Amino acid sequence: MIYFIADTHFNHSNIIKYCNRPFKNTYEMNEYIIQKWNSVVKNDDIVYHLGDVGYGALQEIKEILQRLNGTKILLKGNHDFKIGTNTWKELGFLEVYKKKIILNNLLLTHAPTEEVGENQINIFGHIHDKTLDERFNKDNHICVSCDVVDYTPVSMNALERLKQK
């Protein structure tokens, strides 16, 4: 099975208040996201993380990633570029991309893009729980930010139900 998620922001205390996440602290947030992730993702699944993985010491990030089921593929978000591609691989990602991934008819990006081809659907994060800007076509854009998917990776089969109304 293939899954998608974005904006986990592990160890990022400010994201709790910025996005009004319902956690007392980063430990509680991290544990909740790990539990939700592992409740759906099995070890033989693939998860595309569409950016903004986490903060803190590299060893802390590595320990969190090791606890997450599945093969992890990263599309770097704006907060992920401080860490080099090879380091992300050492931390636990099989593959690391910088701008986009094309997967069948899906265009995976960190932030929503207007560069969506005909019959393509843009899967993205970055905007968290904010409303998609009206310049984007809601029919071909789906947000998988933690804040709108109950901190749970979304399967390819379940993407359609996430289309914004």
Q: What is the pLDDT of residues 81-131, one digit of tens each?
A: 999 999 999 999 999 999 999 999 999 999 999 999 889 999 999 998 898
- Output the pLDDT for position 163: 66
Give the confidence band of 58 by pLDDT, cuts at 50, 70, 90.
very high
Give the mean pLDDT of 67-81: 96
Give the neighbor-by-neighbor strand order of the sheet with 106-108: 101-103, 106-108, 121-124, 141-143
pTM: 0.95
- Output the pLDDT for position 145: 97
- Output the pLDDT for position 5: 98
Domain boundaries, the chain: 2-162
Q: Is the pLDDT of residue 52 over 80?
A: yes
126's tokens: 């970055």
Determine the topology of domain 2-162 in CATH. Answer: Purple Acid Phosphatase; chain A, domain 2 (3.60.21)
Q: Where are the alpha helices (DSSP H) in 74-152?
A: 85-91
